[in-house]
Amino acid sequence: MEIEKPGKQHLHQLKQLCNDAGIKLTHQRLEIFRELMSVSDHPSAELIHKRLHKRLPTIAIDTVYRTLTTFDELGLVKKLHIMNERTLFDTNVTIHHHFICSHCKKVTDIYWSDLDNSKLPEMVEGMGKIQSRHLEIHGVCNDCLHKSEE
């Protein structure tokens, strides 16, 4: 039995959303979705591609990337651009923020309702319509801190 993680989408949601959007649920898309939901919380397209390769040896990285982008548009995952260097796909679509270890690059979810409910600075509100807010906290995680002490 898999542990339920917050904000994760399920197969029936994928079917429903594809149906509503008029997108064909191909075998490849289904397999990408399955893999996506079984890996760590913030996989890259490369990781999904690598893991799928055994079962779908002909699948191209472009296909994986495009499919993940489609899933992002459907709201099944969130595309993250961390520090402008990597594109990751977040399988948790509830509101949350991230702690990013600058050493091992691990991305950990943070929940921060005070921040989510806080009033934005006036200068931000004057800039236009706000659609979402996402905070990245950068630092060195405990695992890496302890390793460097050894």
For Zn ion, the binding residues in 6-35 under the rule CB under 5 A are none
Name the minimum Å distance from CB 77 to Zn ion: 10
User: Contact between 104 and Zn ion (CB under 5 A)?
Assistant: yes
Name the minimum Å distance from CB 87 to Zn ion: 13
Closer residue to Zn ion, CB minimum distance, 25 or 144:
144
Q: Is the dihedral angle over the CA atoms 11, 12, 13, 15 positive or is it negative? A: positive
Site string (108-137) toward Zn ion, x via CB under 5 A: -x----------------------------
Q: Is the dihedral angle over the CA atoms 27, 70, 111, 39 positive or is it negative? A: positive
User: Contact between 101 and Zn ion (CB under 5 A)?
Assistant: yes
CB 88 within 8 A of CB 69: no
User: Contact between 90 and Zn ion (CB under 5 A)?
Assistant: yes
CB 141 within 8 A of CB 106: yes
CB 11 within 8 A of CB 33: yes
Q: Which of 25, 30, 56, 144 binds Zn ion (CB under 5 A)?
A: 144
Closer residue to Zn ion, CB minimum distance, 10 or 55:
10
Q: How many residues does the chain have?
A: 150
Extract long-range pairs of 46-55: CB within 8 Å, 24+ residues apart.
Answer: 48/89, 55/31
User: Contact between 141 and Zn ion (CB under 5 A)?
Assistant: yes
Closer residue to Zn ion, CB minimum distance, 29 or 98:
98
Environment class of 42 (CB within 10 Å of its CB; exposed 0-12, middle 13-18, buried 19+): buried
Site of interaction with Zn ion (CB under 5 A): 90, 92, 101, 103-104, 109, 141, 144
